[in-house]
Amino acid sequence: MSDEILVDIDNLQFDYGGKPVLQGVNMRIPKGKVVAIMGGSGCGKTTLLRCIGGQLRPSAGKIDVDGQVINEMSRSQIFAMRRRMGMLFQFGALFTDLSVFENVAFPLREHTRLPEAMIRDLVLMKLQAVGLRGAKDLMPNSLSGGMARRVALARAIALDPSLIMYDEPFTGLDPISLGVIGQLIRRLNDALGATSIMVTHDVQESLLIVDYIYFISGGQVVAEGTPDEIRHSRDPFVHQFVYAEADGPVPFHLKAPPILDDLLQEVGRV
């Protein structure tokens, strides 16, 4: 990927209470691209997003976003940087006591001093972009899972961010909603001229919309490539993950003594 780089992650390391989670992650995210980060549960994908957003400070390494090192910023500098970032949280994370309109308006009121008339127009435009202007007065508990995710997407792009991050955007969606969200992610990224980083387990949908994929295992990048390269990868871990094979580098059986030893041990107790 030789394009101009927006996010440059160099030797990133992070520990939770002394337990290593990220162990030397290196990534380069070009401007204007949609990049997926994949890997098994607990491998550090969401932790990586939180480090990029400044919620977590790594123990070593560097995260450079558009020429600024996130993990060297003060709290106020990170807050200012987040105005240029959008985040779609897992399951949407809408404010349950606010209407659809107010949910999308929230970042505009939090980060700008725009007049209410302009905020209203911007909110309606973002809801129009995700096909839900007609739901502006509904409360989140009245929405289906797919609709809630689309409202959350409208909120994530409210400030026209240069970087949009998605944490498992397809989780829990039916096939129609999943396809809609996938196409919205691609179209909105291109329309806004933004850059998107997407943490996901949904391999097949992601391969249709992303430009590049990184695979994480054991806290490190173990494979990377374009969708075509990933589909035809001979790396055992990548092949198992992409084609959902039950056994491989990630074993089906948890390590245990031979079953005959366990059975004979039980017989000996009788």
Helix (H, G, I), strand (E, B) or coil at 122: helix
Q: Give CA torsion, residues 29, 145, 175, 206, to 10 deg.
A: 10
What residues have CB less than 8 Å from 102, skipping those under 6 apart?
Answer: 95
User: What are the structure tokens assigned to 133, written together?
Assistant: 């202007």
Give the pLDDT confidence of 201-255 residue by residue, as tens digits: 888 888 889 999 998 888 889 889 998 888 888 887 777 777 777 777 666 677 8
Strand boundaries in the chain, DSSP class E: 5-16, 19-30, 34-38, 60-65, 68-69, 85-88, 163-167, 195-199, 212-217, 220-225
CATH topology of domain 5-233: Rossmann fold (3.40.50)
- Boundaries of every domain in the chain: 5-233
* Mean pLDDT lowest among 7-11, 79-83, 258-262, 265-269: 265-269
Give the pLDDT confidence of 168-199 residue by residue, as tens digits: 888 878 888 888 888 889 999 998 899 999 99
